[in-house]
Amino acid sequence: MPVGTTVGQAIEDQKKFAAQKASEEAAQEQLKKQLEEQKAAAAAKIGNSVVLAFLGQRFSPSDFSQGRYDDQFVIEIGVKNAGEKAIKGIKGDLVLKNTFGEVISKTTVNIEEEIPPGASYTWTGSRKLNKFDDDDKKLMGLEDGKFSTELRPTMVVYADGTTVGTP
């Protein structure tokens, strides 16, 4: 507070600050709501053109004789092009949850494969694991039936260059 400020001025300044802060928070909430609505609309549009299914996962330990120098978490995702245009690539979020619904891991998957209309494709991807990281340790010990998945497509790039969704 500057020297010479009266109590009345300080109260007035605080009221102005509080009003400005409330206005900024309202603008942020409005923007957040608008972006969530856009994301939901894009997800609905994407849902009509592509179907993703989590097929499985496995822990693949490092094996120098096989040229695999890091422990890896390997996943398989089934993709079906339910739309009328050929797909060039799909971006999505994969969330793994434990029995209690707590998030174990959240990762983005980028499936860059040409998929004709009506066709299906099995995508296999992997991620390096750090055996000293607690979150990665949870992935190493995942057992079938003891976790659930959420797989949401967030963006589709079509062969003609058009896109749906947000990057």
Element of type H or E holding 61: none
pLDDT at position 91 is: 93
Burial of 127 (0-12, 13-18, 19+ CB in 10 A): middle
pLDDT at position 1 is: 66
Backbone angles phi, psi at 80, to 5 degrees: -125, 125
Query: Are the C-beta atoms of residues 154 and 166 closer than 8 Å to each other?
Result: yes
Query: Are the C-beta atoms of residues 85 and 116 closer than 8 Å to each other?
Result: no
Cα distances from 131 to residues 13, 139, 157, in angstroms, run 54, 10, 35
Write the CATH number of the domain with boundaries 50-165: 2.60.40
pLDDT along the chain (167 residues), means of 10: 81 89 92 84 80 88 85 91 92 89 90 94 90 78 81 90 83
pLDDT at position 147 is: 87
